[in-house]
Structure 1
Amino acid sequence: MGRAFAAFPRIGFLPGDERRRAAYDGPLPIGEGQTNSQPRTVDAMLRLLEVAPGMRVLDVGSGSGWTTALLAHLVGPQGEVIGVELEPSLVAFGAANLSATGQPWARIVLAVPGVLGVPEYAPYDRILVSAEPSTLPSQLVDQLGEGGRLVIPVRGTMTLVTRNGTAIRESHHGSYRFVPLRTSR
């Protein structure tokens, strides 16, 4: 995990006026009421996700592109990462930041209003969600492939969902605060 953070420091994914605060271990605003997540939280989420080279990963709420870049580093060129973001200005900001990392196996796309994730490219080996729903979204669970893992902060509790055959299991891993998960602007 440390290598991904060293390869793609947070500073390169922040608006210019926030870059001086890049070392701050807390969320920072990136525009449109969204934030770049606290580094310690991102680290905890990525550890729960257990990303390996060659995996297909969905990054919901990609924002500045930082988590998308970290995930791309972890899956390597044999893998694929699709970041999805609801705010068009953040899609442009995040995509530009991601492009600067030189990882063409990762991209950020505009979310379709009313749709969570990118179901047309499912199934995914891993799904990371950086926004908080009030209930576990079945739309995202349905996009999880066999042996897949979904990490999502549901009602302030970091939730790990795993799929093994038809069995879906949930476990809980501490309290966190995130911006609300939305499906429309």
Structure 2
Amino acid sequence: MQIGRLLVRLIIGGLFIGHGTQKLFGWFGGPGPAGTAQMMDGLKLHPPRRNALAAGASETAGGVLLAAGLATPLAAASLIGVMLTAIRTVHLKNGPWAANGGYEYNLVLIAALLGLVDGGPGELSLDRALGIHDTGPGWAFGALATGAAASALTVELGRRTARKAVGEGPTSVPNTAGDPVTAD
């Protein structure tokens, strides 16, 4: 039996589940949807509530899939997208070291996710039990590319919507949910 990959999946997946539920439900001392939406607003990822829910759902669902070893490339792509978005919007400006608020932790998680996709989730996984063998460098590259594309799209659309919300585009006013309502 290969328990090493199982442990890696359970620990990384479990931590992502924790981070996601912090955002979605305020569990484990997290900010919940309102606090996460406020953070998204500060990062100019608009509409903030939608982006908060998307980040929380991506981390939670991706973490569950990863821990179970199910649809491993999809789970990794989801989590890589969240990590790349965090690097781009929060950590990049601080350099690599976590002690300075940098991106080293995010990068380590991305590398571990790519390793799991490349080598497979292991014998103790739902992928293996279902006969799914979507592993190898091509699948790892695909997960990285999908995560990177999702991150780029999230950041660009979020910032475009934020510019519209402050009057740099079509007229818009915030509604009570904090999402912009465009009046064209």
Which structure dedicates a bigger proportion of its chain to helix?
2
TM-score by structure 1 length? 0.29
Mark the structure with the bigger radius of gyration. 2
Which structure dedicates a bigger proportion of its chain to strand?
1
Give the number of the structure with larger relative contact order, counting CA–CA contacts within 8 Å between residues 6 or more apart.
2
